[in-house]
Structure 1
Amino acid sequence: MKRNPRDLEHSHKILNRRSLVLGGLQLAFVGGLAARMRHLQVDQADQFRLLAEENRINIRLIPPARGEIFDRNGAVLAQNTPSYRITMVREDAGDVEKVIANLQKLVPLDPEDLERAMAEMRRSPPFLPITIADQIGWHDISRVAVNAPALPGVTPEVGLTRVYPQMEDLAHVVGYVGPVSDYDLSKIEDPEPILRIPRFQIGKVGFEAKSEDMLRGKAGAKRVEVNATGRVMRELDRREGQPGADMQLTIDTDLQFYLQARLGNESAAAVVVDCESGDLRAIASSPSFDPNLFVRGISVADYRGLTEDPYRPLANKTVQGTYPPGSTFKMITALAALEAGITGTEETVWCPGHLEVSGRRFHCWKRAGHGHVDLLNSLKQSCDVYYYDLALRVGIDKISDMAKRFGLGVKHNLPMSAVARGLAPNKAWKERVHGQDWLIGDTANASIGQGYMLASPLQLAVMTARLATGRSVTPRLVKSINGVEQPDGAGESLGVNENNLRTLRRAMYAVSNDRRGTAYRSRIIADGLRMAGKTGTSQVRNITAAERAAGVIRNKDLPWERRDHALFVGFAPFDDPKYAVSVVVEHGGGGSTAAAPIARDIMLQALYGETPPLSAYPKKDRSHIQALQERLQRESPPRKADGSDRA
């Protein structure tokens, strides 16, 4: 059928309009698409390139090698040793329990370690490796490697772990490391990312903790290619971290071993300070513990054994323990009176065995009294009444000021845990802390190192070094960092009258070398090495009037925890002081019987630098000393070529 030309013309017009509209729409779409593609590929190219790279490339931290710790002679105190461990990636393992069961057929797994690893695995991303067993033997790691196809997700690895070759001898000084805990992270305002690496170790106590920032080092990093689930496909490049600083301490390991061995099974502490430099040559707290137990996480049984021991092996008694200094404080009371011009060396005080103060009787340790005593004899025989009388005249504020001048009641800045300030009380302190007035009886008690007065063995050693030298000797623990020598603690002059100091030193000499001195039985008889010292006994219980009337119960007849503390401080040689020593034996009884013999033996070991000759001891002690030396030599650890002890 032939169509009308008009109809054809009309149809062409409609078709052209539709074509134009469709073409316009297509052009608009293409233009919009082009604009969007330009926006994405040009304007936002950098942003999407970064996102794509981050999806494909992952940056992971590399733990640095922890700095090692040495003694003054180069013996190793803390080192890093290769350690074989087994790790597992949960997403690769699939059935974790089945893989663990197969693994247990090959190597023994500690139940506590396994439980800890499973808990860590549950709260960690599925692609993160978790340590299942650490510090395992070569044969065990070999069996795992051979059976790797049957253990999906399990990988044998070699890493570094902390080892303390000296074990118990330096535990309280060096401390130990352990895995970062949630509690550790909670104490840090902005934790470094490296601290979130599973099982990463940081210092927990002691020098390891206090020097953490220097010992830890700086983390390295590696770029790895990962798939969509975060699994590592390959390593692209690596930047090693900066190892921690190597630290050298002032401690002499041989002398430290002797201190620990000499203290034996006592609950005690001993400190040796170099009078010239302030170096801590040895600082021992007994009993001790093996810090290696804590590196991977101590067992419940082992930890309970340490915490339930009445001798408190975990406490560092040298700096953390504070005790009434007893009669070792009498030099401070005397010096305060001498410096104030209140007494002289020839002035005497009558001691009938007690002194009446405000209606209360303050007793001397010698019930019958000492009669007329001057300064030298009061210190030599440790007369209490002499110091009651001095203190009431000089006053507590001057005594407190002198105590702080000689390092008591002052927190010494050492990189050790829980360093105590001690207490050198005065009137303002009692008002501030207790809201009470200072009583005259408080002054009498403080004059002989009782009452509120408290000092640590470290502070007593510092006090003695300052008495011996007249300088503000400051204890130093760090000898060098990465080979760079650190400032010593020789100190400046204390500004105390040298004649007064000489008077006290002569009195301390008499304590150890005069037949009536309280430490005469523990004297050193070697020429040129004579020791000056002072015994002390501090009460831990009140003695009632009824007990005094009936006769004071002897220490050996009391339960251990109610016996007096025994103390001794001393320096030697008298003419040229080289070392100062302090010894505290908890509930040891008398300072002259329990603490002085230990201090004498320690001092001789320090002066000779080796086992001292028997000729340095009084004749009556030589057979006992010889037996002691032979026992300690048998227990002494073998020396290795690098100067370190033990395997």
Structure 2
Amino acid sequence: MRRPTRDTAESYRKITRRGLIIGGGMSAIVGTLALRMRYLQVEQADQFRLLADENRINIRLIPPTRGRIFDRNGTTVAENVPSYRITMVREEAGDVEEVIARLSKLVTLDPEELDRARRDLERLRGDTPVTLADRVSWEDISRIAVNTPALPGVTPDVGLSRRYPQGEAYAHLVGYVGPVSDRDLERIDAPDALLLIPRFQIGKIGLEARQEELLRGEAGTKRVEVNAAGRVMRELERQEGTSGKDIQISIDNNLQTYCHARLAGESAAAVVVDCESGDLLASASAPSFDPNLFVRGISVANYNALLENEYRPLPNKAVQGIYPPGSTFKMVVALAALEAGELDLTETVYCPGHLEVSNRRFHCWKRAGHGNVDLHRSLRESCDVFYYDMALRVGIEKISEMARKLGIGIEHELPLTSVASGLAPTKEWKLINRSAEWVIGDSVNAAIGQGFVLASPLQLAIMSARIATGREVKPRVIKSIDGVEQPSGVGDTLGINENHLREVRKAMFAVSNDRRGTAYSSRIIEDAFRMAGKTGTSQVRNISSGERATGVRRNEDLPWRQRDHALFVDFAPMDNPKVAVAVVVEHGGGGSTAAAPIARDITLQALYGEDPPLAAYPSKDRGRIKTQQEQLRQYSPGPTGDESDRA
């Protein structure tokens, strides 16, 4: 049956209305989506572009090249050399242990180094390269490169590592670098991001440590594109960092090497100071060690060998070691007495071999005594009683004041670790540190450099330089930084009466050049280079009254650790001082027999700049010196008396 026209029209109207409603709704939805898309794609485009970049681009640090270190003449002391290493990225490796097992079949992996790498792989971010093996050969690198498909996450790499071409000669002074440890990070409030790079090297001791920020430089950056697994696809941008600054030190390499060679076989230290500038020309501590062993982490066996060596190769005896200065301290007491007006150059003190003080007998090294002695003879023959008497007149306060003026008992400003301040004691010091009153016997002991008085070889060398010049010579070890000369240590006048200094210098000259001088056997024959010096011997054990009654045991008859320390200080030439030298030989016995010959040889080497002619030595020594020079020429540093000697 045919539907009426009116019904058909009504149906069309309903359909059209519904279509419009649905169409409008769909249009609204599409419009909303379009607006949202416009908002995301146009207005928020920068934000989403940044998020996308953060997901696919990594920014990695580029370690800077560490600054080099040279001696005063340009000889390389510390340098950077290419070092091949094998690294692993945990995210790329998958099964880390399986990959390591495959790798170990191709190259030899050090167990200790591998344990450290495993710890780093566990605690660091998955995209951080961790060193599995360092300083591998080119052959090892080639094998890794050929087998790369079987070693996911493993990459052969090349970087720079520290090397010390002079070996042991600078181990204590320059120090060494090593991988950053947790202890290093704990000491730093806000560690540089560089320090968080696995196995990044920083200075551990010496100049390397004290000048770390200067030598380290600033890191560069590179932007690399990575895939979803973190594998680097390409490098997008690189910004190089700033290399560390090069440092030129004041040390003369030839003299430094000679000092180490001359001290071989001893537990000793030697310091040479330029009297004009204060430059340290040499600072040697023996025995030494190879700093290159520490760069990549020293083995337990090697480290224990250093710790167990009774000659103590690890401490820097030249600046860190402190010793009773013995008779080398007598110049301090003499100048204190002269400046205080307590000593006249013409007066004498009688020495019967001892002095009674507060019911105690203080002995002179010469049992029979020296008789009547004046200032010159007291230093020339090292009479103890003369200085006991001076101490009673002057008092410890003025003696210690003079000691500090001459450089003892103060910490000299040097960019080295563990620079000792020594000790010039006072009454207040003893009350605070020993909870006891100062007694007169303390002053008597201090008069001959015993008791509480302590000094380092560096301080003794500075003392000699100040006596020689009358100026406050200050030690300098950094000569220039990136070619810029650093302030010298010339220093102002000490304010000590020049006549008093002149008399002390004359007496020191007699020590080495008068037949009755305690160092006459170690004199310099060459007139232009004659030296002024002073022997010293410091006791390390108490001598009982019973032993004195039967005769004091000779040093050579005692165990090594009970023998006296031997010391010698000097400056030369007498009329125009160029260098000041201090030598300490631990448990060496007598200053005149153990320390003076070494100091004389070092002094001549410093003045000539090469092996001195045999004519500069006493005729009786020339045969021995010739043999010694021949032996020392072949030397490469490695880890390796009668009663008057007591003066």
Give the distance between the partners of 1:610 and 1:27, measured in 2 at CA: 99
| Structure 1 CA distance for aligned equivalents of residues 242 and 15 of structure 2 | 77
Distance 1:61 1:557, change over 3 A: same
Return the offset for 1:364. 1.1
- Structure 2: gaps spanning 5 or more residues: 638-647
CA–CA separation in structure 1 for the residues paired with 2:318 and 2:152: 51
1:242-641 aligned at under 5 Å gives the runs 242-635=242-635
2:50 — aligned with what?
A: 50
Letter in structure 1 aligned against 2:158: V
Q: Which residue of 2 aligns with 1:85?
A: 85
2:645 is matched with none
User: 1:31 Cα deviation (Å)?
Assistant: 6.5
Task: Tell me the SS of whatever aligns to 2:158.
Answer: strand
Deviation at 1:19, TM superposition (A): 7.7
- What are the superposed Cα offsets for residues 571-611 of structure 1, whole Å, 9 maximum, x if unpaired? 00001100000000001111111100100010111111111
1:145/1:386 Cα in 2 relative to 1: closer, same or farther (>3 Å)?
same
Deviation at 1:11, TM superposition (A): 9.5
Distance of aligned partners of 1:545 and 1:27 in 2 relative to their CA distance in 1, 3 Å threshold: farther
- Over 3 Å counting, the alpha-carbon distance change for 1:7 and 1:185 in structure 2 is farther
What is the Cα deviation at residue 291 of structure 1?
0.4
After TM superposition, the structure 1 stretch with the greater mean CA deviation from structure 2, 342-351 or 428-437, is 428-437
CA distance in 1, matches of 2:636, 2:137: 28
Question: Within 1, Cα distance between the matches of 2:31 and 2:104?
Answer: 66
> How far off its partner does 1:436 sit?
2.1
RMSD (Å) for aligned C-alpha atoms:
2.2
Code of the residue aligned with 2:625 in structure 1: it is I
Hey, what's the Cα distance between the residues in 2 that align with 1:552 and 1:88? 67
Question: Structure 2-normalised TM-score?
Answer: 0.94
Q: With the length of structure 1 as denominator, give the TM-score of the two structures.
A: 0.94
CA distance in 2, matches of 1:225, 1:453: 65
Deviation at 1:185, TM superposition (A): 0.9
Q: Structure 1: which amino acid aligns with 2:191?
A: P
Q: Counterpart amino acid of 1:547? A: E
Cα 1:605/1:20, change in 2 over 3 Å: same
User: Aligned equivalents of 1:447 and 1:2: distance in 2?
Assistant: 142
| C-alpha deviation, 1:56, in angstroms | 2.2
AA in 1 matched with 2:484: V
- Greater shift, 581-590 or 347-356, is seen at 347-356
Kindly indicate whether the alpha-carbon contact (under 8 Å) linking 2:162 and 2:295 is maintained by their aligned counterparts in 1. Answer: yes
Could you tell me which runs of 5 or more consecutive residues in structure 1 were left unpaired when the two chains were aligned.
638-647
SS of equivalent to 2:126: coil
Distance change >3 Å, CA 22–CA 76, structure 1 → 2: same
How far did 1:442 drift?
1.1
Per mean C-alpha deviation after superposition, the further-off stretch among 366-375 and 95-104 is 95-104
Alignment-derived partner of residue 137 in structure 2: 137
Question: Does the CA-based 8 Å contact 2:91-2:229 persist in structure 1?
Answer: no
Residues 116 and 18 of structure 1, relative CA distance in 2, 3 Å threshold: same
Partner SS, residue 173 of structure 1 = coil
Write the distance in 1 (CA, Å) between the matches of 2:6 and 2:473: 121
Q: Which amino acid aligns with 1:482?
A: D
Cα deviation digits, residues 272-331 of structure 1 (max 9, x gap): 001011111110000000000001100110011011111110110001101111110110
Deviations 1:189-218 (A, max 9, x none): 111111111111111111111111111111
Question: C-alpha separation between the residues in 2 aligned to 1:87 and 1:388?
Answer: 68
Structure 1: distance between partners of 2:341 and 2:577: 27
**Is contact 2:271–2:284 with CA below 8 Å preserved after alignment?**
yes
2:478 maps to amino acid: V
Query: Kindly tell me: are residues 602 and 30 of structure 1, through their superposed partners in 2, closer, same or farther at Cα, counting changes over 3 Å?
Result: same
CA distance in 2, matches of 1:508, 1:437: 35
In structure 2, what residue type is equivalent to 1:76?
T
Which deviations, in whole Å up to 9, do the C-alpha atoms of 1:153-199 show, x marking residues without a partner? 22222211111000011111111111111111111111111111111
SS of the aligned residue for 1:136 comes to: coil
SS at match of 2:236: strand
1:363 shift after superposition: 1.3
Change (3 A) 1:36 1:493: same
Amino acid at match of 1:298: I
Aligned amino acid, residue 165 of structure 2: P
CA distance in 1 between partners of 2:36 and 2:433 (Å)? 75
Q: CA deviation at 1:119?
A: 2.1
Partner deviation per Cα, 1:37-74 (whole Å, 9 max, x = no partner) = 56545554443332222222221110111111111111
Distance 2:20 2:561 in 1: 107
In the TM superposition, what is the alpha-carbon distance from 1:138 to its structure 2 partner?
A: 2.0
Equivalent pairs counted in the alignment come to: 637
Structure 2 letter corresponding to 1:167: G
The alignment-based identity, stated in percent, is: 69
Q: Distance in 1 between matches of 2:427 and 2:359?
A: 21
C-alpha separation in 2, matches of 1:614 and 1:522? 13
Q: Does 1:99 align with 2:121?
A: no
Distance 2:491 2:403 in 1: 17
1:623 maps to a residue whose letter is: G
Give the Cα separation in 2 of the matches to 1:315 and 1:636: 20
SS at 1:224 equivalent: strand
Pairing of 1:150-299 with structure 2 (within 5 A): 150-299=150-299
The 3 A distance-change label for structure 1 pair 436 and 30 is: farther
For residues 5 and 447 of structure 1, what CA distance do their matches in structure 2 show? 139
Measured in 1, the distance between the counterparts of 2:281 and 2:86 equals 41
DSSP 3-state at the match of 1:410: coil
Per the alignment, do residues 90 and 324 of structure 1 end up closer, same or farther by CA in structure 2, a change over 3 Å counting?
Answer: same
Residue 377 of structure 2 aligns to which amino acid in structure 1?
A: N
